[in-house]
Structure 1
């Protein structure tokens, strides 16, 4: 009898069956080499681009296989899911293709764009509650009335569907040394771990979570599933307070390490993917690169590393804020305050120094009412676009040489 381990909830043969069934129903996403990231970390780095999947994330795989493998059990009332984004869209499209009605419960804070995308894929959207837990409770009520629940991660069929990503990686790249995967509820890394270990047991599997919600990390430390308090994160797609019991069983035995990344690193990774590879990844999709660039795990020198870029659904307003934060962390934006004599021509002189230093002024704020500021002085706050940290230092040197007293400012998202 085929086995993976005594606790694994899915067999490799089920993942292979899912992969065969999903051919032509979901995209086989590209696996691309990155010379830039390879040079930066001293290894051969590949990106598995699930952000290019239909609906913009890997979630379509698990939802499609769950529905296909349970068609004989799903009644005329169809399926129901609770989600704030990617899972909602995956379930909606998978159900529409199977000609089944679908209902998706979304919390009140779910973005309007994701609500509309879910409706456009064919689902009835019900807005319920202030948290995902409220939405899940509502979904449970609909299950009692005859609908079939499609859980986002704590389900063996869903995990098997996500595991097809692992098989695709190994078919194109037979000997990866390391596969790095985002972790929310754990269904994605659970499926990929089973698939990869069944073909190449020596491949290391590393999971990445946002520091703002370290549920898998704390559960592995405790040896049991625990719930954590979650802070707001750019990686909202993996902000899951409690991992699933089934994925946790896989993580305990097949995942080598779970690492955490800070918000600044996530923002920088989103920016790097956009600028270096022309790829839009949401925060959750970018955390593997954030961990790589932060040296959060050991990279085998000259080895082969695969980063699973799990999704690309990011709202436009959030994207603008993330890019600004990433630019600041990379030293491409500097913020300084300069004290000036409050006389005609002072500001022009300051801007002349900045122009000669080849910096671009993004924002300028002239403050005459700053605390402890003499009445004969004014404070000018500048936000400048630079070529990087060395250029920022050079600008500071030129300002001081011009007789200006400057004060570096931390990055704060301005309300002005």
Structure 2
């Protein structure tokens, strides 16, 4: 850039007959720069910013990332290189960050890679899940020789628990949803302590599914032992009171929903704001009003993660199928037959099918452990689903499905090629 004084000298010398090369040597500037000023191509004192080679490709990249927020930068680089881009990978990623072109995925509430590892989590932002096994549960629960309780505890000392039927992954996912809804909030990071589905050494499917569950609720997943800071106060560990005190209050004839209500009241009674054990001014509805730093309030309207629970049952002589402390009617004449009960957590109806897959009944799901008999015509059975997107808002996004360029992106590509 030539200053106004240098430009005045260049004009004066050029009028005296100096050549462009001589003027450039005198001013210490490039000959092409001096010529561009003398012919009027540039304005003295005004610096021309270098042209950004990425600017023409911004509309295409913005459209592609709006269509597919999980599109890898390497795939995007390959596409725009075919359209004429000559920059490198690092230049592209820097331009994407500078212009904020990658939107947030509203389906999975995108989590950055450093959060997925769970290693950067702070102890104050963790929600700890612990799987507790208790001996000799009531026979009517159908849980076998051991009762299963999932406990979720926050660093503030608040905790809630949910009873589970077994250790299958869908049962664990349902227990996680029940715990979160009782807490009303979730930590930024989940720490899975002794959770059976979190330590699957066969194919890693369980851990991948739990990562999708954490993303569904807007959290990040971490596994392994807890940090010492979260275990600093033994009073904040709910395992001992649940195992050594509450479990002894459950009798052999206690119904499941009664035991769950008792466990909820017991957890509320032990909240940190409770004044003194046995104090007359304590309330079972007291909760900790101050959330731990980094905790997120849970939207209670959010649908549960769409895990599917499938169990096998035997039809009773009364043509009823027992499931979750209730009985569901089936057509007569099937007593003693084995059927499969299937229920997806985000749906209000369950299906009862024969072992070969034919659906024989469909009913609305009764409250767990209510000891109801659900009969009647049941819900209509649809053999074929309608075309189009059906409840896509409930389908969790795993970030692996790649989408081709949309018509709008192809329009931007044609502009670049022209």
More helix by share: 1
TM-score, normalization by structure 2: 0.24
Larger radius of gyration: 2
TM-score, normalization by structure 1: 0.25
